[in-house]
Amino acid sequence: MKARLRRQSLAAVVALVVLAGGAIRAQPRTSIVLATTTSTQDSGLLDVLVPRFERERDIEVKVIAVGTGAALRMAATGNADVVLVHAPAAEQPYVDAGDLIDGRLIMHNDFVIVGPADDPAGVRGSISVEAAMRAVAQRGVFVSRGDQSGTHTQELALWKAAGIDPARLDRREETGQGMGATLNVADQRRGYALTDRGTYLALRDRLALGVLFEGDRRLQNLYHAYAVNPAKHPGARLAPALAFIEFLVSPAVQEEIGAFERDEYGQSLFFPDAAPPGAPLSGPADGRG
Amino acid sequence: MQPGLLVISVRTLAISGVATLLAIVVGVPIGYLIARRPFFGRTALLGFVNTGMGMPPVVVGLVVWLVLVRNGPFGPLGLIYTPSAMMLAQFLLATPVIVGFTTASFQALPPRLSDLLRSLGAGPFRTAWLLAREAHIGLLAAVMAAFGAVVSEVGASMIVGGNLARSTRVLTTAIVTETSRGDVERALLLGIVLFALSLVVSLVLTVVQQRNRP
C-alpha cells in the first residue's frame, strides 16, 4: 500500500515536471514589451490586434497594461520597447529627452463626463467643458482615477482650464484604480467622473450613470505610439518595435481599428488617424499638444 | 491630495486592529465551546473552520461587495466604500483563524484539567478564564496570525473599500496604486512601513506570550 502510494506520488511529480517544462520551454522567436494604457487593454482592442501582429510577423508582444504615466516611466527606464499612450502633454518631455522616437498618431476617441441621470449639479447643457467642470465643482461629487493615467492627466488639465484647484474640492475622491473600478465608485456614490467613451460604453448596462457632457474639442483623446530609443536604452529592440508601429498605421489595421466593436455599440470606440510619416504629432482637429 | 504615510498607517492599524478585536470577541468563545466536549458534527464544523482559515480574501471581498452595494440586500446601510465595510470583510477573514487556533489551543490542554478546576469549586466562567490563561500561548498565536492575515490582505480591502485616497486607502492598496502609477520608490517605502507595523505588533504580542516562560 505504502509502496504504491509512493509510486503514485512519484508519477504525479514527474507529470508535473513534464507539464511545467512544456509550459516554459522558451520559444526562440523575437519578443517585444509593449507598455500601454488600461483602456486599450480593457476595451479588448489589443486582444484583436496583437495576435494578428504575432501571426503575421512572428514577433511575440508582451503587453503590460498600466496607466500612461507608468507606461512612459517604463520606457524611460528601458523596460519597454514600444509604447501606446494617450496623454500628449505627458509624452512630450520623454520625446524631448530622447527616450521615445518615431512617434506616430494612431487613433483617437473622446472623453465624456458621466454622472447620475438626475444630474444634481446641473452639468447637462453646459456651454463648454470648463463650465461643466465648474458645475461639478460647485454641487457635485467627483470621482477621479488619481493614478496618473492619461484620463487622470486629462482631468487635471480640465480643472486647470476651468480655473479650479482640484486639491481644494471637498467632494472629489481619488480611487487610484482603473476606469472600470472608478466608474463603479462614481455610480455607487452618485458622483460624476471623466471617462473615455469606450470604457463607459462597455460598462453602461451595469451603471446608472449617463453621459452628461460631450463633444468639446478639449475632450479629444489622442493615442500615439512610440519606439524606445536604443541609443539611450541599449536593451531596447528597435526593429521589431518599428515593425509594430508600422503594423498599427498600415491601412488594413487602421480599418480594423475603426471597425472594432462598431456593430456592438452602434458607434466606433476608436477612430483611426494614422498620418503620413513626418506629419506633426498633434491632433487631427487642432494643434493642441 | 495624496494622503500622508502617517495617515495611511494609522488607518491601516485602526481598520485591521478593530477587525481583529471583533474576531477575538466572537471567535475565542466559539473556539472554546467547540473544544470543550465532542458533539455531533464537530469534526465537520472544524473542517469548515479550517477551510475558512485559507479563504481567498478577494472572494470574501466580492461577496461583501455584493451584499453592501446600493442595490444589494444591505445597500440601504450605505456602507460600501467605507472603512466599516473593510472592517466587516477583514472580520470575516480573521474569525475562522481565531476559531481554528483557539480550538486547537484548548484541545492541547490536559483533558482532565477542566474537571479538576470544576471540582475545586470554579464556576463555568472562572473555569473558562483559567483554561484560557493556561492556553494563552496558543491564543496569542491566534491573534498574531489573524492580525497578520488581515493587515497584509489586499483583495478584499480594494474591492469593498474602493481604495479612496481620503477614507479607505490602506498600506496594501496604496502599494498597488503606487506600483501601477510607476512610483516604485514610494511603493517600496509603503511596503517597509507595512512590514515594520506587522513587526512591532507581533513583537509586542510575542513579549506578552513569552513572559514567565523559562
- B150-175 pLDDT, tens digit each: 999 999 999 999 898 888 999 999 99
**Predicted pLDDT at A288:** 36
As a whole number, mean pLDDT of residues B109-127 equals: 90
Query: CA-CA distance, A84 to B160, in Å (whole number)?
Result: 32
Write the pLDDT tens digit of every residue in A152-180. 999 999 999 999 999 999 999 999 988 88
Cell of A140: 457635485
Higher pLDDT among residues B179 and A212, named by residue? A212
Q: Which of A29-33, A74-78, A115-119, A234-238 has the highest mean pLDDT?
A: A115-119
Indicate the range of A200-204, B38-42, B82-86, B198-202 predicted with least confidence. Answer: A200-204
**For chain A, what is the total number of helices (H) and then of strands (E)?**
12, 10
Q: How far is A6 from chain B (nearest CA, A)?
A: 26
Residue A111 — φ and ψ, nearest 5°?
-90, 150
As a whole number, mean pLDDT of residues B36-52 equals: 92
- Per-residue b or e along B80-111, where b marks 16 or more CB atoms closer than 10 Å to that residue's CB: bbbbbbbbbbbbbbbbbbbbbbbbbbbeeeee
* Interfacial residues of B (vs A; Cβ cutoff 8 Å): 1, 69-70, 80-81, 158, 162-167, 169, 173-174, 176-177, 180-182
For residue A286, pLDDT over 70 is answered with: no
Closest chain B residue to A181, measured at CA? B162
A101 bridge partner residues: A227
Q: At a CB cut-off of 8 Å and minimum separation 6, what does A223 contact?
A: A40, A84, A85, A86, A105, A106, A107, A108, A270
Nearest to A167 among B1, B162, B167 (CB): B1
For residue A57, pLDDT over 70 is answered with: yes
Q: Which CATH number is associated with domain A110-219? A: 3.40.190.10
The residue among B134, B102, B92 whose CA lies nearest residue B32 is B102
Average pLDDT along chain B: 92
**Predicted pLDDT at A6:** 65
- In this structure, chain A runs to a length of 289
Residue whose C-alpha cell is 524611460? A76
Residue whose C-alpha cell is 465648474? A134
Write the pLDDT tens digit of every residue in A184-219. 999 999 999 999 998 898 888 889 999 999 999 899
Amino acid (1-letter code) at residue A155: E
**Domains of chain B and any CATH numbers:** 5-210 (1.10.3720.10)
3-state secondary structure (DSSP) of residue A192: strand
For the packed helices A251-259 and A45-57, what is the interaxial angle rounded to 10 degrees?
160
Q: How far is A67 from chain B (nearest CA, A)?
A: 6
* Candidates 1.20.1260.10, 2.30.30.240, 3.40.190.10, 3.40.50.300; CATH matching A31-109+221-272: 3.40.190.10
Confidence band, pLDDT 50/70/90 cuts, at residue B177: confident
H or E, element range at A23: helix A2-24
Cα pseudo-dihedral B94, B97, B103, B107, rounded to 10: -150
B177 and A185: CB-CB below 8 Å?
Answer: no
Query: CA-CA distance, A166 to A173, in Å (whole number)?
Result: 10
For residue A234, pLDDT over 80 is answered with: yes
- The answer to whether the CB of B97 falls within 8 A of the CB of B146 is yes
As a whole number, mean pLDDT of residues A116-131 equals: 96
**Predicted pLDDT at B103:** 96
Q: Which of residues 19-58 of A touch B (CB under 8 A)?
A: none
Q: At a CB cut-off of 8 Å and minimum separation 6, what does B185 contact?
A: none
Dihedral angle sign, alpha carbons of residues A184, A190, A195, A201: positive
Average pLDDT along chain A: 87
Q: How far is B114 from chain A (nearest CA, A)?
A: 40
| C-alpha distance across the termini of chain B, in Å | 52
* Residue range(s) in chain A whose domain bears CATH number 3.40.190.10: 31-109+221-272, 110-219
As a whole number, mean pLDDT of residues A77-85 equals: 93
A174 and B165: CB-CB below 8 Å?
Answer: yes
